[in-house]
Structure 1
Amino acid sequence: MTSDDASPRSAPTSAPFRATQQDGSYPRPQLVREQWADLDGTWSFRHDDSSVGLAAGWAGGFGEARDIVVPFPPESTASGIAEPGFHPVVWYARTITRGDLDDAGLSSDAPRVVLHFGAVDYRASVWIDGAFAGEHEGGHTPFSFDVTALVVGDDGESDIEHTLVVRAEDDPHDLTQPRGKQDWHEQAHAIWYRRTTGIWQTVWLEAVAETSIRSLRWVPLDHARIELGVAFRGAAPAGSRVRVALWWDERGEDLGTVESTMSVGADTFDLVIPVVRQSNGQGEDELHWSPEKPRLIDATVSLITPTGEEIDVVASYLGLRTVGVGEGAFLLNSLPYDVRSVLNQGFWPESHIAAPTRETHRREVELIKELGFNAARLHQKIEDPRFLFWADRLGLLVWGETPGAYAFSPTAVQRLMREWMDAVERDVSHPSIVTWVPVNESWGVQHIDADRSQQAYARSLADVTRALDPSRPVVSNDGWEHPASDILTVHDYEGDGAVLAATYADEDARRRLLTGRGPAGRRILVGEATDTGQPVMLTEFGGVTYQPGAAREDGWGYTAASDGDDWIARIGALYDGIRASSFLVGSCYTQFTDTMQETNGLLTADREPKVPIEQIRRAVTGRD
């Protein structure tokens, strides 16, 4: 429901803490409560290759087991298991103690216990003390269960220990599962990497009120207003109020409080908040978020009963910025902006798609910016929200992408559509995300050039994204064969900078590109799509392999350099070719780091620059 009685009020109530000042460990950074219980760490673990665990009663706990360190995938060395072969079913177990519930904040004011999973690949079933808690399908999106009845007695106490059991099923040969870069072969090959099975993001508990704030949705409407959608656990009764207090820490400035009353009971509530109140609009750009000035606004959101009792309060933050396209340009805060991006696989040698430490996310963002980039394309991965927090905080544009399935079928369509919608809803509030990418290089729609049903699917993914979030551009199929894209993107691994410069030189080159066949013999526009002046970006290029101190044939890339001088000269020439174009408004270099057998990163897999970092930055930016 939408409120029309929102009005400015007095000074804000005190937030539990400023969400912008968090340390990056909280697993849900835009809806923060002071107390939570981290369940990561050592769990019990078993493979179940013959899928006998259900019949054998493992849901109530299992005996013979190994230790695993959660949330690292069992294929990785960081997990302590390090078995990368085919294991389609795995089981986890952990004890939940009274201390965990105390850490979660269980009390008479917060009597409900919610169990959260950041991500479990691919299908998860959960039990506590043998009682079924719930299940979830989708390997890259969060889910949660209210487990109060399973861990808290009638008196509101729980002095006994409880056994939490998770069964994860991930068929490596099911190509209808959204899987991204996970290899379906036993050994990683070409551009695909080790699989991820089971838990790979944080598991945690929190205690909440009987009716509580479940999610927040911040969407800028323009340069001075933002819309907030609030969803509740349990319906808030008629007459309840939502209070939103805003604070700009950079200036120590109170931006005021807005409070609105629900006329009827509801489980969702929307209100529009005026963030900038100067009547003549002067000074509003001081609050705008950008990579150069990543200004964030802290928020406290409270739920207040009709009698005036504040029953729930959470800390959050938002970024006030607009993104869009127009006149052939990508627009940030209504001005043309040159997108200088790098492809980031989000993969580490020791922990695979799970970050090795919680500090890692911050360092990733810092390194990307130090290399001279203002954007990152998170490739075939729905990244941990804590990476997005640091992108918000430090100022990095992000292209949000989903892991693709490899098959086209009704099952594949339903699975990817559902998981993508969940991903958009999870991440819609992050100011760093500026573009959505539901399909890459026709993965899962291999015949989109001529197949109308595959064109309809990709177009539908783009349109449902716009329906969920009309505030950002959408790329329907990154790289080629666009049925309905707001930005026309091209992948071109030409290794000669002079050839690249000629291919993208001027408006005649643009016309040839969009009306004929592009790189790899692919058409750029398919179906009913036409050239309406959309901005054009080269969103994959480069891929030059070089391994300091290693034989040239040891690694793989699209082209190869003989040594460090040759490597950086090649990269600089490619960027010179792009900068010479009259119509390219953005680019994305492949890739940020070496990843397994792919040795075409700017950094090694251990995040070490292959030549002095200032040389890379000079090649990327064209400036000293």
Structure 2
Amino acid sequence: MTEGTLMRKTIDLNGTWAFKMDPTKSGEMDSWHQGLPPGLEVNVPHIWQREGGELVHYTGAAWYEKVISIDKPDPDKKLFIHFGAVDYEAIIWINGRYVGRHEGGFTPFSFDITDKLNQTGEQRVVLRVFDPQDNAEIPIGKQGSWYTRVSGIWQDVWLEEKPELFIENIHVTPSIDKEEAEVTVTLSNIPSEPMLVDITCATYPDNVPMGSSIQVTLSNKQTTCVFPMKGADLWSPDHPALYQLVAKIRGGDMNSAVFGMRQVSFQDGTLYLNHQPLYIRGALDQAYYPDTIYSAPSDEYIINEINEAKNMGLNMLRKHIKIEIPRYLYWADRMGMLIWAEPPNYIKWTKQATKRFEQDLEAMIERDYNHPSIIIWSLYNEEWGLEWTLSKDNEKQTHVYDLYERTKRIDSSRLICDNSGWIHVKTDVNDYHRYFTLPEQKNEWEHDLDSFIIGHNEANFVTGYQSRNEPVIVSEFGMWGLPSVKRMKEHYGGEPWWFLNQGDETHSEDYKSPKTADSHFDKFGLNKIFKDFEDLAETSRKRMFRGVKSLIQEMRKREGLTGYVVTEFTDVEWETNGWLDYLRQPKFLAEEMQSFNGEVAVIADISKRNAWSGENITVDLILSNHSNRPLKGDVTWEIPGTSLQGTLPVDVNGDPVIRIEQPIQFTVPHMDRPELKEIHIQFSESDGTKWGVYEELMFAPAVSQFNYRFWPVSLSIEIVDALERRGATAVESIDEADIVFTSEWSAEVEQGARDGKTVLFFAEAGDDIDEKGFFSFKELPPAESWQRTSSMQSVDTTFFGDLPLRKEMGWEMEGIYPDYVVPFSNYSKAGGRTVYMFGNSQYAENSDLLGIYFEGWLGQMGGTFIRQKVGTGTVYVTTWKLLQTLKTNPLTEHLIQQIVRG
């Protein structure tokens, strides 16, 4: 029910309704509007897909019926039926009499049903809901294309009694500079004579009056006036002060609006809230739920979610291509959670589709205008609905430009993002969607930030349109971490329906289906690395934490960014890049998230993470400061397990990015063997507030001598010399060698293996290798890739003895991570046309898979380190970049030595 109405009689129609599918569309012909044949009893709000069985995939027509006992209202009153949202088309009858039709699945509508009512007694409410299978030209967001569809009466239903002339709505536009609020009152129709309206305002919910009431004369359907707000508290995430404005027609109707005094703006690349710089630490929120699908189960559920978000350091949720339910916005206002709102997209670019989309956009703004938590409206997301031709289609460019201008006229109090994440036409937010995988793509991510996102943000506009120095936000990025399937099955009492991907054919890849994990875990030897799938999933979450932490730290090191929005707040069905899983269980501890996502973050810029004894290491310290206040205190640091520690004084201004003048410097101590280490850094403010972080290190002995004889094939002189300096001896014939080192697979090398030699094939160059025999390689996406962020690389640590390797491979493998894998699964390669390639799953049967690559739910399998028998010899094939890192990462020589030992 609406928040603003006061003193009106309402009747809640939520609860038990009759429900009947109509697959043959015969219901109208058979007069179901007079009364439904026997069917199901369901609980409204209702999404029919959550009934399970055939209804999960059912599209088309379905009917709802509820019989209530009420009397017709007094002659001077009208009775309206209200629907919060029905997806998609709704036709309503009362007592068999046609009332009206509404199209649109996300926003409210109502009908006057007074004339359709019986004078007393039972009243029969019947709805025919139609959700088309072909939904390309209606706003849908991700329902049915990525995840489970949504159909039915999925929001509240109620009756509301109103007078002949009533206040339809109130819009309040705050002006903090003028200390006033512009109030627009809209009536149900033009009054027959001028009406006096009394307007009052008070704090909410404490009801402390804000000055005196004002009187306004209404002669038209809509009137605008100004209410003074002298000395009003401003709304902000830290202080979500609210006010309630009440408008009352003398002797007639009364309505109200809850709002906040706040101002959002931008200037010179900086985003401001109430004239103070605002830095976004947000998460994309698709607002899907494990049982209720598209609506939160309860207010308590919403409150817990927002508390979880704030505990993790988030100050914004980007409600992704879904018009959010009113109760979520209600609590966002009260709890101080910023909202970036975004209407659902359509798919096919047609006049009717754009018309429907624009109607939804305007209805969203109309409904949600007074929510202070909403500070940004999006129009489009990644050109969805524009068919990805915006950069070269003048008609679509004009459409986006005009839609921006029109939206700005409707609501000038918020920022507008025209095309979130991709190329812009006219926008108030210059945002980017950029997906990189760390640690593997650290250099690529840094280059993207410096050379594109920050370095050339003016290039993110369609030719002919220019930047106005908007704030720059990375509004999508992230990595995957698998959830506990055991906990999921316990919750559902078995496998949920969405274990079979509910998206369209564009989401049929194996890595997007939880069912893939069932067959691939044992088949490809992951059971030799992990105890069970739960162990693998927990390990993948560690990798996710490491990666997301590093992605955010790189952004927070740099000036020129106003913030970021991680993908995403919660898992959604098969997509597992949420900071919470689908059941809203945190994947990480809140204090761990605060270490890099808090208001203040300590960032260590380490000259070298993996170092030899005796090397001098410099750690530059950066304070990322989103508090707008000076920082004073001390930084303490230590490397546990060593005597290395220190303290540095800090006294800096309130700038957003501050480099501490004095770095941490130390010399790597003597090591008997390679070991994983951590540097722990804590900034303690003078008031006792603490901000801490830890970073991974690996220390190794200065020189590691290991004597063996190798026959080099297609290796550079520099590589041979480096190996010999570490105790190995290069020989001139294969017969003299303990092992063959080769970067090509020649006939001579293969014959040596068949004759009993051990061969290490350095295959890091992948497809660029001139001679590679029957080995085939798949190049991993070298640049930005959403798919690659779902990936994980694992290693059988038992083969490498006591070498400091994590099963999921962390920063100890910096520089070693491969660019290629040996593909086990079939895959496709984009080009002028999509080319379909073949993997070789037989490696699982004829080889030892010591290094494994997979994506998502153990799909797109590949090998990075494989051992197999060839003849009487043993061949190791690895795509790890061992040759490239022999001189830079001390772990490399130890990996090679362990392979020699076998």
Residue 111 of structure 1, aligned match among 55, 74, 77 = 77
Q: Decide which moves more: 583-592 or 563-572.
A: 563-572
Higher strand proportion (structure 1 or 2): 2
SS in 1 for 2:58: coil
TM-score (norm 2): 0.59
Q: Distance in 1 between matches of 2:211 and 2:74?
A: 31
Asked if the contact 2:171/2:257 (under 8 Å) is kept, the reply is: no
Structure-2 change in CA distance of 1:388 and 1:107 (3 Å) = farther
Partner of 2:200: 245
**How far does the alpha carbon of each residue in 1:329-354 deviate from its partner, in whole angstroms, 9 at most, with x for none?**
11111221001111111111111112
Q: Distance in 2 between matches of 1:201 and 1:398?
A: 20
Partner of 2:359: 418
Deviation at 1:372, TM superposition (A): 1.3
SS in 2 for 1:83: helix
Partner of 2:729: none
Partner of 1:295: 241
Asked if the contact 2:484/2:538 (under 8 Å) is kept, the reply is: no
Q: Which AA in structure 2 matches 1:142? A: P
Percent identity, aligned pairs only, is 29
Residue 266 of structure 2, aligned match among 321, 325, 330 = 325
**Does 1:587 pair with 2:564?**
yes
Partner of 2:454: 510
For 1:103-252, list aligned pairs within 5 A: 111-151=77-117, 153=119, 159-184=120-145, 192-223=146-177, 224-249=179-204
Q: Which AA in structure 2 matches 1:539? A: S
**How far does the alpha carbon of each residue in 1:98-154 deviate from its partner, in whole angstroms, 9 at most, with x for none?**
28x8xxxx567x72111100001111110101111111111111000111112263x
Q: Which AA in structure 1 matches 2:246? A: T
Residue 38 of structure 1, aligned match among 12, 26, 32 = 12
For 1:135-534, list aligned pairs within 5 A: 135-151=101-117, 153=119, 159-184=120-145, 192-223=146-177, 224-249=179-204, 253-262=208-217, 265-276=219-230, 284=231, 287-304=233-250, 309=251, 311-446=252-387, 447-496=389-438, 498-499=442-443, 502-503=446-447, 505=449, 510-515=454-459, 524-534=460-470
Structure 1: any 5+ residue segments left out of the alignment?
Answer: 1-26, 154-158, 185-191, 277-283, 516-523
Partner of 1:24: none
Asked if the contact 2:80/2:111 (under 8 Å) is kept, the reply is: yes
**How far does the alpha carbon of each residue in 1:413-433 deviate from its partner, in whole angstroms, 9 at most, with x for none?**
111111111111111111111
TM-score (norm 1): 0.84
Structure-2 change in CA distance of 1:600 and 1:507 (3 Å) = closer
Deviation at 1:227, TM superposition (A): 1.1
**Does 1:94 pair with 2:66?**
yes
- How many pairs were matched up? 554
Asked if the contact 1:555/1:599 (under 8 Å) is kept, the reply is: no
Q: Distance in 2 between matches of 1:30 and 1:81?
A: 39
SS in 2 for 1:95: strand
Q: Distance in 2 between matches of 1:599 and 1:118?
A: 30
Q: Which AA in structure 2 matches 1:151? A: L
Q: Distance in 2 between matches of 1:81 and 1:359?
A: 29
Larger radius of gyration between Structure 1 and Structure 2: 2
SS in 2 for 1:229: strand
Deviation at 1:376, TM superposition (A): 0.6
Q: Distance in 2 between matches of 1:140 and 1:385?
A: 11
SS in 1 for 2:184: strand
**How far does the alpha carbon of each residue in 1:541-562 deviate from its partner, in whole angstroms, 9 at most, with x for none?**
1132232467996878xxx984
Asked if the contact 1:541/1:590 (under 8 Å) is kept, the reply is: yes
Q: Which AA in structure 2 matches 1:502? A: E
Asked if the contact 2:201/2:209 (under 8 Å) is kept, the reply is: yes
Deviation at 1:261, TM superposition (A): 3.2
**How far does the alpha carbon of each residue in 1:25-60 deviate from its partner, in whole angstroms, 9 at most, with x for none?**
xx2224444642111111111111111111111112
Partner of 1:63: 37
Segments of 4+ moved more than 6 angstroms: 549-556
Q: Distance in 2 between matches of 1:481 and 1:508?
A: 12
Q: Which AA in structure 2 matches 1:44? A: A
Q: Which AA in structure 2 matches 1:611? A: F
Deviation at 1:564, TM superposition (A): 3.6
Structure-2 change in CA distance of 1:218 and 1:407 (3 Å) = same
Asked if the contact 2:92/2:101 (under 8 Å) is kept, the reply is: yes
Q: Distance in 1 between matches of 2:511 and 2:411?
A: 46
SS in 1 for 2:189: strand
More contact order relative to length (CA 8 Å, sep ≥ 6):
1
Deviation at 1:274, TM superposition (A): 1.2
Q: Which AA in structure 2 matches 1:113? A: L
Deviation at 1:408, TM superposition (A): 0.3
Q: In angstroms, what is the RMSD of aligned CA positions?
A: 2.5
**How far does the alpha carbon of each residue in 1:437-479 deviate from its partner, in whole angstroms, 9 at most, with x for none?**
0100110112112111121222222222111111111100000
**How far does the alpha carbon of each residue in 1:311-339 deviate from its partner, in whole angstroms, 9 at most, with x for none?**
12234321000111111011111221001
Structure-2 change in CA distance of 1:249 and 1:165 (3 Å) = closer
**How far does the alpha carbon of each residue in 1:513-571 deviate from its partner, in whole angstroms, 9 at most, with x for none?**
542xxxxxxxx211432122111100001132232467996878xxx984343322222
Asked if the contact 1:493/1:542 (under 8 Å) is kept, the reply is: yes
Asked if the contact 2:172/2:257 (under 8 Å) is kept, the reply is: no
SS in 1 for 2:571: coil
Structure-2 change in CA distance of 1:494 and 1:89 (3 Å) = same
Q: Distance in 1 between matches of 2:49 and 2:308?
A: 27
Asked if the contact 1:455/1:527 (under 8 Å) is kept, the reply is: no
Q: Distance in 2 between matches of 1:509 and 1:217?
A: 37
Structure 2: any 5+ residue segments left out of the alignment?
Answer: 488-509, 515-536, 602-690, 693-902
